[in-house]
Amino acid sequence: MTNETSEFLHHTSCDSCGSTDANAVYSNGTAYCFACSTWSKGTSDAPATRSRSVNVDLLKYEYQDLNKRKIPETIAKQFRYGLGHDKSGVLCQVANYFNKDKEIVAQKLRYPDKTFKFIGDAKEAMMFGQQLWGNTGKKIVITEGEIDCLSVATAFDGKYPVVSVKNGSSAAKKEISQHLSWLSGYEEIYLWFDNDEPGRKAVTECLTDYLYGRRFGEVVTVGAGVSIGKTDFVMSQLAFDLKQGWKVATFMLEQSTKETLLRAAGKVDGVHYHLPNAEIQKDKLVETVNGFQDLLYMFDNFGSNDWASISDKIRYMFHNYGCRIFYIDNLTALNAHAQDERRNLDALMAEVAGIARELDIWIMLVSHLNPPKSGPSHEAGGKTEQAQFTGSRAIMRWSYAMFGIERNTLHEDENERNKGVVRILKDRFSGSATGRTVGFRYDRDTGIVYEMDDDFEIEQTGAKDDNDF
């Protein structure tokens, strides 16, 4: 164990790895390089002047293995996480927080009963561990707690960027938004939050924040291969909207209103209500469905899948019920009656975008995809692209955002079949999110899609397969 009795002075170069500014010098003459994790004697005999005054009364602490979470001392030392006693002599774990000048400005104390408190200037502090990493890179993981951060870092052997928000998932949206400029330097951002309700809600909010929110007056389109999970994606988003109290209208052209209602309730309760063999608590189902009263309006499309009928219903639902969010699944069914489907889709997309702008509403469209021209099929984990959307030119022109869902439904391992990513194919508003991916995992027992619970790539199998069966 290492006794921590000194304070940070300044950063300098490291003789071990060649870093120009990652080596931190402390008042007791030691130095620690955050790039290569090397402890050494200080590079200067004279005490250095701090770049600024940081008035915090820091606790002393020691580094050691965190055996319960199998976190080695080396990782604890890298992230400046130790064991000490507060001013009253109570044992606690100490997480050090740095400011932008890489000075310790605050400490978060974690007690055995899992209560927490900050000492120092928490407002000036960056995210936990942020001082270790640069402002560009391929991937970064954000967790909802310091211990989770250390656990992920242990899995990565301390070599890849991982940070934690300061105050858990409930405040994650606000905190991450404060660091968007720094985070935008990374190609992929993974949120590693718990699978409880606060964790799932925080992830959804952060994704929305990542795209700078959902804006009324816009059309977005989501596409995927056969049985990848397009409808499930829509039902998950629908359930989230309803829980937030939004008035929502659905045009599910390939499923009944009963199935839509049961699927939406199932996403709220974690039960496959729409399956005949589901174990249902009738009172709970009734309670959940009653909660949709005056919020969910479903279009019964029997015998009328044409845009003229649907556009009339959109206006009716907007003016009479106050609906601002609309889901239309799917474009293929909506366009199937046309003699020239491609030309009709051009006009159709223009009209969908027009009504969204006219009524100031948000519309999500669902589209089938054409098979990839090379490589694995979508069902085998093939990558989605804008050009694969059926009638792609019109969709690309009028959609403010486009998403592709990727999953390997043919993998031999069930765990792999239940993993997937949502790829942001277009982000017209800022362009910064285009190409980014968001991971998800499907829980077959509950039907719930848990976003961002792992850092992975889709394992592709086989070559291109044009067979839909």
pLDDT number for residue 457: 60
Asked if 1-51 and 56-208 have one fold, the answer is: no
- Dist. CA 157–CA 129, nearest whole Å: 14
Highest mean pLDDT among 111-115, 349-353, 407-411: 349-353
pLDDT number for residue 206: 60
Highest mean pLDDT among 207-221, 372-386, 454-468: 372-386
The least confident of 41-45, 115-119, 158-162 is 41-45
| Contact between residue 407 and residue 441 where contact means Cβ atoms under 8 Å apart | no
> Which pair of structure tokens corresponds to residue 63?
């580094």
- Dist. CA 451–CA 191, nearest whole Å: 8
Highest mean pLDDT among 213-222, 296-305, 410-419, 446-455: 213-222
Distances from the Cα of 44 to the Cα of 2, 4, 5, 129, angstroms: 21, 19, 18, 26
pLDDT number for residue 79: 96
User: 409 vs 53, which has greater pLDDT?
Assistant: 409
Is 56-208 in CATH node 3.40.1360.10? yes
Neighbouring CB atoms inside 10 A of 73's CB total 16
At 454, the pLDDT band (50, 70, 90 cuts) reads very low
pLDDT number for residue 160: 92
| Contact between residue 382 and residue 376 where contact means Cβ atoms under 8 Å apart | yes
Does the predicted model carry a pTM greater than 0.75?
Answer: no
pLDDT number for residue 451: 67
pLDDT digits (tens, 9 = 90+) for 341-366: 777 888 899 999 999 999 999 999 99
Q: In the chain, how long is the greatest CA-to-CA distance?
A: 86
pLDDT number for residue 420: 87
Residues contacting residue 262 through CB under 8 Å, at least 6 positions apart: 273, 274
Q: Are strands 91-98 and 81-85 parallel, antiparallel or unpaired?
A: antiparallel
Neighbouring CB atoms inside 10 A of 446's CB total 15
| Contact between residue 273 and residue 302 where contact means Cβ atoms under 8 Å apart | no
pLDDT averaged over every residue in the chain: 83
Provide the residue ranges of all domains of the chain, joining segments of one domain with +. Answer: 1-51, 56-208, 214-451
Distances from the Cα of 144 to the Cα of 54, 255, 391, angstroms: 26, 38, 41
pLDDT at 19 over 70: no
Asked if residue 415 has a cis previous peptide bond (ω within 30° of 0), the answer is: no
pLDDT digits (tens, 9 = 90+) for 125-141: 999 999 999 988 989 99
Task: Look at the block and give the residue holding tokens 């003699």.
Answer: 339
User: Crossing angle of helices 341-359/307-321, nearest 10°?
Assistant: 10
pLDDT at 257 over 60: yes
pLDDT digits (tens, 9 = 90+) for 23-44: 767 666 677 665 555 667 543 3
Task: Look at the block and give the residue holding tokens 């619970």.
Answer: 453
Mean pLDDT, residues 400-418 taken together: 89
Q: Are strands 61-62 and 3-4 parallel, antiparallel or unpaired?
A: antiparallel
pLDDT digits (tens, 9 = 90+) for 294-343: 999 999 876 567 888 899 999 999 999 999 999 999 887 887 776 777 77
The domain made up of 214-451 has a fold known as: Rossmann fold (3.40.50)
- Dist. CA 297–CA 268, nearest whole Å: 17
Which amino acid is residue 182, in one-letter code?
A: W
pLDDT number for residue 56: 55
For residue 98, the surrounding DSSP H or E stretch is strand 91-98
pLDDT digits (tens, 9 = 90+) for 201-224: 555 666 776 688 889 999 999 999
Q: Which CATH number is correct for 1-51, 3.40.5.50, 3.40.50.880, 2.20.25.10, 2.60.40.1180?
A: 2.20.25.10
pLDDT at 159 over 50: yes
For residue 335, the surrounding DSSP H or E stretch is helix 331-335
Q: What whole-number percentage of the chain has pLDDT above 70?
A: 81
At 425, the pLDDT band (50, 70, 90 cuts) reads very high
